[in-house]
Chain A
Amino acid sequence: MTKVPVEFTLNTREQNEFVETGSTLLSALRDRLGLYGTKAGCHQGTCGACTVIIDGEPHLSCLTLAERCQGKDVTTLEGLAPAGALHPLQQAFMDGFAAQCGFCTPGMILAAKCLLDRNPDPTRDEVVDAISGNICRCTGYEPIIAAILTAAQGMRKPARKRA
């Protein structure tokens, strides 16, 4: 196995890694960096459990070659909020009982974050679209959709106050 260097930003910190050529970002995050918040559900890009944010957009880390992350800005669930704090989406998923087994939760939250970053006032259909690549087998999606809408509402409130 050949190894190549990759420099990227991971959860706001500079990361320099040697990765095996042809290996995926998913493998780098889990097997090399111990960031287990990114889940492996299918290795085929069909379940969304491995979703991470690259340069502001959701990406499937199982289909992303690690060495192509050179110079990119990668966010995983571990980087969503400062230690000890919760992002409004995390709080809304908790309050809304939107997680059961929890395996899809990291991908769901990151997919939702990409939506809310672009569109702070989404419709239900836009929320549905945002998580359309993420499989959940436990919840029936309804609590997840509700939690994302709740989080969006909560995130808009302070902005309105300022305005």
Chain B
Amino acid sequence: MTRKRGRGMAAVNYPTGMNLGGDPSQALIHATTTGSFVVTLSSVDLGQGLKTVMAQICAETLGVPTDNVIIDTADTDTGPHCMGTFASRGTHRIGNAIIMAAKEARAVMLEVAAEELEVDAGDLVTDGAGAIHVKGSPQKSISIFNVALAAHFKHGKSISGRGIFLQPRSYPEPETGKMTPATCYAHACTVAEVEVDTETGEVAVLSLKSAYEVGRALNPRMVEQQIIGGAWMGISHALYETTEPYYPDRAHGPVDFNQYLMPGPGDLPEFANVVIERPAADGPFGAKGVGEMTANSPIPAIANAIFDAVGVRVDSLPITPEKVLRGIRALNA
């Protein structure tokens, strides 16, 4: 039995948001009478955790605990326009819209607090725990609960805000392709280690060690979810998946999860990940979109590791055991 190990690497970047921009999203925020904040969107959570991160962004901007924020999405009768959840745009576009809306709401909240405390709004800070106080004088304080009550029932003010983010559309020059595809890019580099069975062409991925530059990890465990899940999908694309196993021949297309091949829980490598943050100038707290990118660097890294192991280049995806075996046979022929 011959098993050969190899390692390979790949480095990638990934644009945040719809290519060429022109993809707005809006957010509306209002305070309830008791000082909770409702963020109204028509944005979709596919499982990446959009609702959670949007609440965090709103809370950070308002200066309140995340638990005090309610995300109300996604109903087109109530939620303002959102282009959609794709193109690694959610955190960046919707997050920026929420920051804009939350700043407006925060200004009203501080105005009301200032009137209640009989101080200048410019001297007020939020403590992040549900109260507002005079900078340097924590004892001169009012709870956001009381601010919200006062705003509604005493001052007749709506603590609310409107936000939109639009990266203006870029139109490529037809001749040269001069364009602005995106304003910020996330980055990644993966080192893959594989073991190739030279008699069967089977490839086992032993480890994926990656560095990801994400702008700012707004919720580290959720970034990690994207990283691990994405890296798994990268393995899957590299070695397993297709709806047309004999492309361009249309035969034998899988119709269920038995036939549609993806790595099982017994095919997992060791994952090791490092996160680097270079905040994006226009990102919400510097964040970039990372969800899509995480699947990309493992694919070529695995392909390069296979070459390193057995000297076979499989330049077509997926790299099936059969393709590897045929490559090994051709080398030995």
A/B contact in complex, CB under 8 angstroms? yes
B277 → chain A, closest Cβ, in Å?
20
* B residues less than 8 Å from A138 (CB atoms): 47, 225, 229
Alpha-carbon gap, A142 to B268, bound state (A): 7
Partner of B268 from A42, A46, A101, A141 at Cβ < 8 Å: A141
B225 → chain A, closest Cβ, in Å?
5
Task: Mark interface residues in A96-133 (1 if CB within 8 Å of B CB, else 0).
Answer: 01001111000000000000000000000101110110
B234 → chain A, closest Cβ, in Å?
10
Q: Are B228 and A100 in contact (CB under 8 A)?
A: no
**In the complex, B333 has a CB within 8 A of chain A:** no
Alpha-carbon gap, A126 to B268, bound state (A): 14
* B residues less than 8 Å from A142 (CB atoms): 228, 232, 268, 271
Alpha-carbon gap, A125 to B266, bound state (A): 8
**In the complex, B182 has a CB within 8 A of chain A:** no
* A residues less than 8 Å from B48 (CB atoms): 100
- State which of B30-38, B256-264, B300-308 sits at the interface with chain A: B256-264
* B residues less than 8 Å from A102 (CB atoms): 47
Q: Are A140 and B232 in contact (CB under 8 A)?
A: yes
**In the complex, B49 has a CB within 8 A of chain A:** yes
Alpha-carbon gap, A56 to B332, bound state (A): 53
Interface residues of B in 66-83 (CB under 8 A from A): none
Alpha-carbon gap, A44 to B259, bound state (A): 12
Partner of B229 from A44, A100, A103, A127 at Cβ < 8 Å: A100
Q: Are A144 and B228 in contact (CB under 8 A)?
A: no
Partner of A97 from B224, B262, B268 at Cβ < 8 Å: B224
Selected A-B contacts with CB under 8 Å, 16 pairs: A46-B258, A47-B257, A100-B47, A100-B48, A102-B47, A103-B47, A125-B266, A128-B264, A128-B266, A138-B47, A138-B229, A140-B228, A140-B233, A140-B268, A144-B265, A145-B265
- Given A140-B231, A141-B265, 19 further pairs, Cβ under 8 A: A44-B258, A47-B256, A97-B221, A97-B225, A125-B266, A127-B265, A128-B265, A135-B262, A139-B229, A140-B229, A140-B232, A140-B268, A140-B271, A141-B232, A141-B264, A142-B232, A142-B268, A145-B265, A145-B268
